[in-house]
Amino acid sequence: MPHTAVDPVVLASSIVRRLQTVVSREVEPGTFAVLTVGSLTAGAKANIIPDSAELLLNIRT
């Protein structure tokens, strides 16, 4: 049933929001760090909850 499913798109978007604050909130000022979410892929149809989501990240320190 759709109302009991865990939507990986919602979960992935929450993870992206949190990752976007890692450098600004967790890394000391003056320390070089870059965290980029370059891709979020999930599903192939607009009206079907996908089974999974994939995030592609790049971290440089």
Task: Say if pTM beats, i.e. exceeds, 0.85.
Answer: no
pLDDT tens digits for range 19-61: 999 999 999 999 999 999 999 999 999 989 999 999 999 999 8
Total of domains in the chain: 1
Dihedral sign for Cα 36, 33, 17, 48, please: positive
Dihedral sign for Cα 18, 5, 53, 43, please: negative
Q: Which domain holds residue 38?
A: 2-60
Q: What is the CATH number of the domain that holds 9?
A: 3.30.70.360
